[in-house]
Amino acid sequence: MRGPRGRRRTTPLLGLALALTAGACGTRAEPGPAWLARWNGPATVSAQAVELPLERAAPEALRGAATEPVTLVLTGLKAETPSGATYNLFVGPSGPVRAATGDPGYVGALSLYDLAGRSEGADRVFPLPPQVRAALSAESGRPLVLTIVPRGGDGSPLVVTGARLVRQSQD
């Protein structure tokens, strides 16, 4: 079949057949895990800061994490009653409790205003700043933690059921 410029066009089925053949011949790499680091809970955050240890993916999955967009995905967030509290989020090596938003590991702040009373948990996504992405490099080898620091407010505690650091889609 010829296109408008006289070039031969491939049909969608031919393209699919070529892709499947390439995959069957082993010329395509298997995709790595969708996560770069993860934690599976649950955990409850009330008046004190909580550190959640992040399990790193295999070193080959972490390659390029320092230069590519990466996001923190918090899953299963719940609170029984409304609260004026905010929760500062930090990713970095374990250590003294972080409190300042100027800390190099600061990712963002989470508010509970729309989480209270939900029967199912909500998810929230935060882009990681460059200095946090650099800490993901396989060379560092230091354990990473997600630290959640409550600030102000009263009401029910925050429940978190999971956290993942994932590459942001480039679509």
Strand order in the sheet with 70-77: 106-111, 86-93, 144-151, 50-56, 35-45, 158-167, 70-77, 122-127
* pTM for this entry: 0.74
- Winning range, highest mean pLDDT, from 50-54, 111-115, 121-125, 153-157: 50-54
Q: How many of the other CB atoms lie within 10 Å of CB of 55?
A: 12
pLDDT, tens digit, 9 for 90 and up, residues 57-84:
887 777 777 888 899 999 999 887 777 7
Tell me the CA end-to-end span of the chain in Å, nearest whole number: 30
Q: Which residues contact 81 (CB under 8 A, 6 or more apart)?
A: 116, 117, 155, 156
Q: What is the mean pLDDT of the chain?
A: 75
Compute the average pLDDT of residues 143-150. 89
Q: What is the DSSP letter of 128?
A: P
Quick one: pLDDT at residue 81?
75
